[in-house]
């Protein structure tokens, strides 16, 4: 079940990052947030260091990418959109609070766990219930939840950043590899794209 999968994933990370063999990679991103919530940011940092040593390149966890992106945006308070069942949402809140973020509110995206099946309209409906204040951001957590079209549609009506796990992960890879963000990335995450441009000056 979901709990068993989430709690079992971490053991698979090291074999996975080693499986690329002699392929010379600039960076890797582990794109599962759920496993990180159980053990916290400090443990994630240590895990990322071990995986980087095993892989021979920088390995980041998407949960750490989210923290880094929110810090780059100078955000200390978030409105959390969660596609998870309550027990995993509780772990998620504890993780973000352990990272020094205030979770101002939690908006469930669905009454049942259907992260991978959610439609853009459902995510937009949740965004409509997550009105954030100045200095906050809206975080769509969970890499399985569709987010790009919802963010692109909702962003013009928001005065605060809207970010998702996948957008933050993409930002982190762009930052690590010093790659140029695409027009699509700039459209979905203009504030993060600006931070990348600033890093290159």
Measure the CA–CA gap between 197 and 30, rounded to whole angstroms: 24
Measure the CA–CA gap between 74 and 137, rounded to whole angstroms: 10
pLDDT by residue for the chain (201 residues), tens only, comes to 878 888 889 999 999 999 998 899 999 999 999 999 998 999 999 999 999 999 999 999 999 999 999 999 999 999 999 888 899 999 999 999 999 999 999 998 876 666 667 788 888 888 888 877 788 999 998 888 888 999 999 988 888 899 999 999 999 999 999 999 999 999 999 999 999 987 765
CA proximity to 38, closest of 66, 3, 71, 64: 3
| 119 close to 145: Cβ distance less than 8 angstroms | no
Here the tokens at position 160 are 């605060």
């Amino acid at each position: 079940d979901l709990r068993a999968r989430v709690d079992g994933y971490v053991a698979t990370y090291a074999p996975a990052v080693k499986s690329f063999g002699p392929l010379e990679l600039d960076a890797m991103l582990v794109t599962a947030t759920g496993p990180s919530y159980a053990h916290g940011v400090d443990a994630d940092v240590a895990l990322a260091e071990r995986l980087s040593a095993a892989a021979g390149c920088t390995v980041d966890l998407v949960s750490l990418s989210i923290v880094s992106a929110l810090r780059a945006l100078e955000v200390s308070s978030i409105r959390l959109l969660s596609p998870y069942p309550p027990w995993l949402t509780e772990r998620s809140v504890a993780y973000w609070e352990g990272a020094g973020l205030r979770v101002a509110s939690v908006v469930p995206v669905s009454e049942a766990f259907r992260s991978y099946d959610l439609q853009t309209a459902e995510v937009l409906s949740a965004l409509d219930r997550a009105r954030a204040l100045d200095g906050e951001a809206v975080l769509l957590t969970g890499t399985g939840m569709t987010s790009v079209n919802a963010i692109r549609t909702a962003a013009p009506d928001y005065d605060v950043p809207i970010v998702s796990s996948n957008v933050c992960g993409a930002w982190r890879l762009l930052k690590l590899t010093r790659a140029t963000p695409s027009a699509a990335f700039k459209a979905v995450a203009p504030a993060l794209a600006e931070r990348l441009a600033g890093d290159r000056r």
